[in-house]
Amino acid sequence: MIINNNSTDDTHAVSMEFCRLHSNFRLFNEPRQGLSHARNRGCQEAAGEYVAYIDDDGKASRNWTEMINSFIARHREVVAFGGPYSAYSLVRLPRWYKESYGTWSLGSEERPIGPLEWINGTNMVFKRSFLADLGGFNPRIGMSGDTLSYGEETNLLVRIKELNHPIYYVPGLLVEHLIGDYKLNLRWLLTSCYRNGLSSVETFNLPVKPLRHMGLAVYQGLAGCYKFVISHEMFLKARVFESFRYFAYHLGAMVRMLKG
């Protein structure tokens, strides 16, 4: 299923042609802007017992659906699970940019995730009826057009955990995720961390305590300075990012709380 979420390029025409050639694909237009709206529309239109999501710049492995079916056959009780993603790029990565910046994994063991762990929105599967009963993804957070925002899938997982349902990590369920050329700069990486912090207040339903996050931001800023000084990282941009990524995150959370 393809959800066209107010695209302004030739997505609709390309998708229509793809659906014409492959009868098992369907196209729906969702006029309400935002990734959460698009995902919720996909759940609404789906006919199967489970719904699986990848990003529009993701590439599922050849055995992706087989791995999903295999896991479901073994764990009919599980309502949510997901897998890792590796990185691919259409351009050569700068020497300072580590491939790990564009990958995510919880290891090689199939298991329920821990209290402070989350599956990633790039590669996740839900029991459709359960997702619908929860009201789907929160449309107040998450990507919307050119607005960089995060947390809608984590917010959903928080609600699932509150209901004491296990969420599984499945290492064989693999997706490749594009490192877009616009992400290959230090400013974007730190801005992404900052925007993650902005979203975190609603993502985790945090109590509004701006002074606490001000203290955390100051601490992470000082810790970042120390890490920057002692780091053996040879590339300056990588050293800056790895030293101050958590400062940017807590700064975002503090700003969001101060705004109310």
The per-residue pLDDT for range 100-144, each reduced to its tens digit, is 999 999 999 999 999 999 999 999 999 999 999 999 999 999 999
CA angle 183, 153, 108 (to 5 degrees): 80
First to last CA, the chain: 38
CATH code that applies to domain 32-183:
3.90.550.10
- Residue 18's pLDDT is what? 92
Separation of alpha carbons 238 and 242, rounded Å:
6
Mean per-residue pLDDT, 45-66: 95
- Tell whether the model's pLDDT for residue 260 goes beyond 80: no
114 token code pair: 């821990």
Domain ranges of the chain: 32-183, 186-259
Round to whole Å and give the CA distance between 48 and 243: 45
The CB density around residue 175, as the number of other CB atoms within 10 Å, is 22
User: Counting every residue, how long is the chain?
Assistant: 260
Determine the pLDDT at residue 255: 94
Here the contacts of 224-229 (C-beta below 8 Å, separation 24 or greater) are none
Three-class SS of residue 75?
coil
- Name the CA radius of gyration of the chain, rounded: 19
Q: DSSP character for 175? A: E
Token pair recorded at residue 15: 């998708």
Q: Which pLDDT score is estimated for 44?
A: 96
Contacts of 70 (CB under 8 A, 6+ apart): none
Residue 188 CA from chain centroid, whole number: 16
Compute the mean pLDDT over every residue in the chain, rounded to the nearest whole number: 95
